[in-house]
Amino acid sequence: MANEFVSVDPYMRGRMNDVRSYVAPYALGEVIAGGAVGRVVESAADALPVGAVVLHQHGWSDVVQADASTFRAVPEIPGVPLSVRLHILGMTGLTAYVGLTAIAGLKECDTVFVSGAAGAVGTAVGQIAKLLGAGRVIGSAGTAEKVALLTEKYGYDAAFDYKDGPVRAQLAAAAPEGVDVFFDNVGGDHLEAALDVMNDGGRLALCGAIAGYNTTERVPGPDNLANVITRGLTLTGFTIGNHLHLSPEFGERMAGWFAEGRVAYDETIVDGIENTVDAFLDMMRGANTGKMLVRIARP
């Protein structure tokens, strides 16, 4: 098959460390495995005819030859790029949905705070929270443009640039009545700030901790962890691979919202397989709004 879009994702950074984690480290000299979407160009499998759109985990390459069982055919949506299967209708959308529902137990009228709000997962979290009846939704991101987009395009009620000043002070100002659900993509100072403002019985879905992915020293823990005890908070970490049974439920609900035009998305696209490493590094530095993708030229 020939890839049309290849995904670059923060979890790949973790696989570049030779440490125990929930997926094995990448081996030197091997193709970087990860999500990609493309079309079948040659096939010996009846279920995957030439032209079929397929999702797979073969990663950073322009063409792939592999067993048919490693590809999953997905329907093409007229007028919509195949790339949505790698974010809002795919893994990052599912992560947002699972984190809010199965992990945080989102309830109507909950106040929600989302860190890393302008990325692929974060843009989906804010919108899904609203669609599921959340009250105030607050987001943080790393540029003024991203912050503006959160309130103007993604339905956030308030947003701030975490580079403008201490997260603690900015979050306290944005959440005068506290936070019930924290969806954390960042960790570090964001987690500490959230622990300060969590309401009693609040739930924290720990999805990512990108602030620490590139650090060489150990990051000190939050200084206010005792709030977990005194306020009866629940912190739950999750990896999406353990919640794939929710994929059909998500697929059905998101397909409906998407068809009704109730979800928006952004993509930051880099052209050319030869630029994949730079796209990955730029994503880690925050150059993306929404999903960072690499587009492969058609053969």
- 89 vs 211 by CB, closer to ligand NDP: 211
Report the chain's terminal Cα–Cα distance, integer Å: 11
Q: How far is the CB of 272 from ligand NDP (least distance, A)?
A: 20
Q: Which two tokens stand for residue 220?
A: 């000190």
Residue with smaller CB distance to ligand NDP, 8 or 64 = 8
116: left (phi over 0), alpha (psi -120 to 50) or beta: left
Q: For ligand NDP, which is the closer residue by CB, 227 or 288?
A: 288
- Of 22, 93, 6, the closest CA to residue 295 belongs to 6
Q: Which is nearer to ligand NDP, 219 or 259 (CB)?
A: 219
How far is Cα 266 from Cα 17, in angstroms, rounded to an integer?
A: 29
Q: Which is nearer to ligand NDP, 145 or 271 (CB)?
A: 145
Q: DSSP strand E in the chain: where?
A: 2-7, 36-39, 53-56, 71-73, 112-114, 137-141, 158-161, 179-184, 198-206, 234-237, 267-271, 291-295
Q: Are 233 and 227 in contact (CB under 8 A)?
A: yes
CB of 33 to ligand NDP, least distance (A): 15
Q: Which residues bind ligand NDP (CB under 6 A)?
A: 9-11, 92, 95, 116, 118-122, 141-143, 146, 185-186, 207-208, 210-211, 238-240, 283-284, 286, 288, 291
Q: Smallest distance, Å, CB 185 to ligand NDP?
A: 4
Nearest distance, CB of residue 45 and ligand NDP, angstroms: 29
Cβ nearer to ligand NDP, comparing 48 with 293: 293
Considering the complex, what minimum distance in angstroms separates the CB of residue 21 from ligand NDP?
Answer: 11
Backbone angles phi, psi at 190, to 5 degrees: -70, -40
Amino acid type, 208: G
Can you tell me the distance from the alpha carbon of 164 to that of 170, in angstroms, rounded to the nearest whole number? 9
**Least distance to ligand NDP from the beta carbon of 132, Å?**
19
**Other Cβ atoms within 10 Å of 47 Cβ, number:** 10
Q: Which one, 52 or 254, has the nearer CB to ligand NDP?
A: 254
Q: How far is the CB of 192 from ligand NDP (least distance, A)?
A: 13
